[in-house]
Structure 1
């Protein structure tokens, strides 16, 4: 079988500037991969590189020719294990670039069989948890407004970015306009261990569900300190990058947070989920700020998860790709006629 491959860089402006403890983002630069078979059927995948993990759009574009050459050499989009093995052998690291190729191959394979990807895996779409909607750092009144807008739009779960000297004020403002919402918080490594333990106490009083990555990933003993003393469950994100990290965090957190842009592919993501389960951890799948070219693929994993944080495409001013319906936070995997990941160019 002959496969044809191509990729392009896309700049995606955000609807609003998005701020976390490490900085502010006004656009997302993704790289979209397309893999087509002899019959003209095309699989789509996306890379959303993060400089925090050493990737940029330039590095993605630099390694994609070698990765796509490997796909063409294998030549069979259904040889998913062989292809992902080849990708890992060709490029060491560069997980976002590998993830884009993995997603496109999975999309094509499921399309060729005429089924949604989650159905190919035998998953129950009704088991998918609702996705959270993220409210980034901002002035307190603007955080209040954004939280109120999210509640009005029907999102039942809010994820609030923290890591300032106004954290208590921000959570109180959100609770005023979202008294019934499930709230999670993410400090993105901004707190000290003692600060995290202290803040967990009053966050628990405000009925927060859990705290994500309270301390630096470079401080594993600090994470353990927080886990052993926190009034709330702890999720590990920056501390949980690859499969080998899962056993290391098993006695330092309650929830493992994987992202396709960290795992390097869908098969590796499923291995991480299984490994986390084997170590007694709950599992969440998060995202970068991404097009539906990749978010739609992550959504296919959600029946395997306890929590989902897949709102990356919802933060864009405009996404050239349609995907899985996430309106109101519900993950709409029920459309059996939408084969593959569900990602489609909006002009299709």
Structure 2
């Protein structure tokens, strides 16, 4: 099995800001796995919060490239186990796992959602993310992209006022993501005010390890709270189920589609809401997420919509939120260059 890695720097339409960082470009790694004339593509973006760079991922993968070339590929799950045993970071595993699933689907001649025996007739609508910015900039972004659901990034001293002003200009559902910027007291105080403003749920308002604070929020918040930074890998699901209403699974953080499928199943067994989110990936990563949507309660897969230019074709998202699947197996991905 041949492996090829390439770094891309993805330009964003607008500066993207959350409570802890801002950026105009997103570095990403694309892994290609080729076998029997078919090529699968996977992706993982860099992330300063988790201290992951494209270069660090390339070094990890290149260190085992000879073993990958000699690997007897029969299924993504077996390949994923091999990568875990090699001690790669979850981000590096993710790009290879996504490529392996895309390759496997193409070898089987079926899209992944069919291999998993799911039906794409019903699925949740992705939100569109509005990063922290001056109000006029946030409004410009909303007018530029009319959408049925917005995820609003917060973490300022005027968060409720921001939502109140945005609400004057749209009837869309709001979801709030504070990216660990609030305290338990702020969360409990803000929740009823935000609920009145049409907010559906709060995402990760507290620091990832503030479990006592989340215990308090769980008992007193009038809005559901979804875990993100607190839910990284499979073992986190059960603890999060005791402190949150649901979980947001990120493929890059957990190590790809293989563990994500298990996390979705476990979340449903525990009776919590299940969401999958993106990390500003191109259409390569978004197309992998899209294969999961029949299994989800919520989805955040707007990464490619936030880009000034893309690097691949695959699953498309129309202006009404409808997902258009290509007539191609696997994740449906092809690189443009």
After TM superposition, the score normalised by the length of structure 2 is: 0.96
Q: Identify the residue that residue 191 of structure 2 maps to in structure 1.
A: 200
Q: How far did 1:66 drift?
A: 3.6
Question: Counterpart of 2:145 in 1: which secondary structure?
Answer: helix
Q: How much does 1:329 deviate?
A: 5.3
2:226 aligns with 235
Task: Give the deviation of 1:69 after TM superposition.
Answer: 3.8
- Give per-residue Cα distances to partners, 1:161-211, cap 9 Å, x unaligned: 0110121221122211112x1110100000011001101010011111000
Is structure 2 residue 103 aligned with structure 1 residue 114? no
Aligned partner of residue 53 in structure 1, secondary structure: coil
Count of residue pairs the alignment pairs up = 337
Task: Spell out structure 1 runs of 4+ moving beyond 6 A.
Answer: none
Aligned to 1:54: 51
- Looking at structure 1, the residues matched to 324 and 13 of structure 2 have their Cα atoms a distance apart, in angstroms, of 25
Are 1:90 and 2:86 an aligned pair?
yes
Tell me if the contact between 1:117 and 1:341 (Cα under 8 Å) persists in the aligned partners.
Answer: yes
Decide whether the 8 Å contact of 2:317 with 2:324 is kept in 1.
no
2:75 counterpart residue number = 79
For 1:221 and 1:203, locate their aligned partners in 2 and report how far apart those are by CA, in whole Å.
Answer: 23
Checking the alignment, whether the CA contact within 8 Å between 1:131 and 1:329 is kept in structure 2 is: no
**1:342 pairs with 312, 316, 332, which one?**
332
CA contact (8 A) 2:325 2:332 kept: no
Instruction: Indicate how the Cα distance of structure 1 residues 345 and 308 shifts in structure 2: closer, same or farther if over 3 A, else same.
Output: same
SS in 2 for 1:126: coil
Structure 2 residue aligned with 1:162: 154
Query: What's 1:211 paired with?
Result: 202
Give ranges in structure 2 of 5+ residues lacking alignment: none
Separation in structure 2 between the aligned mates of residue 218 and residue 107 of structure 1, nearest angstrom? 34
Report the 3-state secondary structure (helix = DSSP H, G, I; strand = E; otherwise coil) of the residue aligned with 2:176: strand
CA contact (8 A) 2:288 2:331 kept: yes
- Counterpart of 2:27 in structure 1 is 29
- Cα 1:213–1:116 change in 2 (3 A) is same
Q: CA RMSD in A?
A: 1.4
Query: C-alpha distance in 2, partners of 1:158/1:334?
Result: 22
Q: Secondary structure at the match of 1:52?
A: coil
Moved more, 83-92 or 207-216: 83-92
Q: What is residue 11 of structure 1 aligned with on the other side? A: 9
Aligned to 2:136: 141
Query: Structure 1 stretches of 5 or more lacking a match?
Result: none
TM superposition shift of 1:49: 2.5
Cα deviation for residue 15 of structure 1 reads 0.8
Distance 1:211 1:318, change over 3 A: same
Q: Quick one: structure 1 residues 287 and 67, their matched pair in 2 at CA, closer, same or farther if it must change by over 3 Å?
A: farther
Change beyond 3 A, Cα 1:122–1:341 = same
Change (3 A) 1:15 1:95: same
CA distance in 2, matches of 1:344, 1:276: 32
Alpha-carbon distance between aligned partners in 1 of 2:64 and 2:215, rounded to the nearest angstrom: 38
Q: Pick the aligned partner of 1:251 from 217, 242, 263.
A: 242
Structure 2 residue 39 is matched with structure 1 residue 42:
yes
Work out whether residues 124 and 297 of structure 2, in 8 Å CA contact, stay in contact via their aligned partners in 1.
yes
Q: Distance in 2 between matches of 1:132 and 1:89?
A: 36
Structure 1: how far apart are the matches of 2:66 and 2:249?
27
**Partners of 1:113 and 1:300 in 2: how far apart?**
15
